[in-house]
Structure 1
């Protein structure tokens, strides 16, 4: 269980996040929504400790995340994987090597620097690529792939970390509708088949309603809505988004895909 207690972050005396208290159950799929500048990205980055809170505590089970440093912090970041809007791949390296970077916390530093990956690590990485239908791209340079393919590589890299939590920061912001569905379906499969907690910042309200079990609405750094997707009516959303409401409230609902066990290829973690 992930617990945030009065977490805050200030930049130059301006509050990016203020007094956020949340409890996130294991295995849930949580959408974090709100207008630009609401504090969504800062919230996720504090959970991963890419940004340090200026107040409050973050805990995962019996671990005080806010106090971690050194190897313990690196271990936490392996358990709490990040997926970014701009993929954060090493473009000149091949796809398989980019995915294997997710195994860095499992191997010694000399072996990682020399790229001396074990057969087990390679098998895990290839299995992850197979799950997202891109194993055939394993030898290609990452920067030769489309945006949707690169994001699937980034998700595969996160999966091979063997995480308890995946934090996705606007993962579909730069993708077309087809690749948006592919990426969101991939995150949903990870959540449902492996029980990995997913927290995902989303701009589209209908995508959030269609894929998430719970929505957290933020405004001016504070949580102003926390509940099931069906409780977030258009009237509530208009209050949350203000002038941006027409951009995020779409007329056609997005149906959550029905998943069966055969939809996912098992990854040998």
Structure 2
């Protein structure tokens, strides 16, 4: 269970997130929605501790995330993987090495610096790539891939961390509709197969309705909606998005059928 208790963040005189309290059960697929500047990215970055809360607390099970530092904080970031809009891959390195970076917390520092990856680590990384149909790209430079392929590599890198939760910050913002569906299906598959909690910032309400079990709507740094997708009416959505409502309410591709995912094995990566 991920619990945020009255969490706020201020940047100088601006309040980015104001008094957010949430409880997110393990295995959830939660969409955080709202217009640009609503505080969605800051909220996720506080959970991962890329940004420190100004006040309030964040807990995951019996771990007080807001008090972590040093190795304990690095361990938390391994347990709580982050996926970014701009992929954050090392373009000059090959795809397999980029995915193996997700294993850094699992191997001694000297070995990781020299890229002395074990056969087990390589097998895990290749298995993750195979799940997203890009194992054939393992030897290619990351910067030679399309945007959709790069985002799948980033998701594979997150998966090999063996995380308890994945935070995805606008993971499809720069992708076309076909790659948007591929990436969102990949996140849904991870959630259903492995029971990994996914919290995903999304601008498109149609995508959020199609893929998420629960929606959290933010406006001016505050949570103004928290409920099942079917509870969010178009009138509420228009209040939430304001002038951006037309774009947010656009039609999105249908997700991969859930029935086939729920019965899939959820044990090991390979």
| Structure 1 residues 86-125: aligned runs within 5 Å | 86-125=86-125
**C-alpha deviation, 1:254, in angstroms:** 4.6
Check conservation: 1:127, 1:266, Cα contact below 8 A.
Answer: no
Q: Following the alignment from structure 1 to structure 2, what is the Cα–Cα distance between the partners of residues 264 and 147?
A: 29
Return the TM-score normalized by structure 2. Answer: 0.96
Over 3 Å counting, the alpha-carbon distance change for 1:62 and 1:267 in structure 2 is closer
Query: SS where residue 209 of structure 1 aligns?
Result: helix
| Structure 1 residues 140-159: aligned runs within 5 Å | 140-159=140-159
| Number of residue pairs the alignment of both structures matches | 268
- Partner in structure 2 of residue 257 of structure 1: 256
| Structure 1 residues 173-188: aligned runs within 5 Å | 173-188=173-188
**C-alpha deviation, 1:256, in angstroms:** 3.4
Q: Following the alignment from structure 1 to structure 2, what is the Cα–Cα distance between the partners of residues 129 and 237?
A: 37
| Structure 1 residues 1-269: aligned runs within 5 Å | 1-250=1-250, 252=251, 254-259=253-258, 260=260, 268=269
Q: Following the alignment from structure 2 to structure 1, what is the Cα–Cα distance between the partners of residues 266 and 21?
A: 36
RMSD over aligned CA atoms reads: 1.5
Query: SS where residue 158 of structure 1 aligns?
Result: helix
| TM-superposition CA deviations, 1:60-86 (whole Å, max 9, x none) | 000000000000000000000000000
**C-alpha deviation, 1:257, in angstroms:** 2.2
Query: SS where residue 216 of structure 1 aligns?
Result: strand
Check conservation: 1:80, 1:167, Cα contact below 8 A.
Answer: yes
Over 3 Å counting, the alpha-carbon distance change for 1:30 and 1:59 in structure 2 is same
Return the TM-score normalized by structure 1. Answer: 0.97
Q: Could you list the structure 1 runs, at least 4 aligned residues long, displaced by more than 6 angstroms after superposition.
A: 262-266
Q: Following the alignment from structure 2 to structure 1, what is the Cα–Cα distance between the partners of residues 170 and 30?
A: 13
| TM-superposition CA deviations, 1:146-180 (whole Å, max 9, x none) | 00000000000000000000000000000000000
**C-alpha deviation, 1:10, in angstroms:** 0.2
Q: Following the alignment from structure 1 to structure 2, what is the Cα–Cα distance between the partners of residues 153 and 47?
A: 23
Query: SS where residue 255 of structure 2 aligns?
Result: coil
Check conservation: 1:131, 1:265, Cα contact below 8 A.
Answer: no
Q: Following the alignment from structure 2 to structure 1, what is the Cα–Cα distance between the partners of residues 40 and 203?
A: 10
**C-alpha deviation, 1:13, in angstroms:** 1.7
**C-alpha deviation, 1:268, in angstroms:** 3.0
Query: SS where residue 268 of structure 1 aligns?
Result: coil
Q: Following the alignment from structure 1 to structure 2, what is the Cα–Cα distance between the partners of residues 239 and 203?
A: 14
Gaps of 5+ in 1: none
Q: Following the alignment from structure 2 to structure 1, what is the Cα–Cα distance between the partners of residues 264 and 130?
A: 12
Query: SS where residue 247 of structure 1 aligns?
Result: helix
Q: Following the alignment from structure 1 to structure 2, what is the Cα–Cα distance between the partners of residues 180 and 38?
A: 22
Gaps of 5+ in 2: none
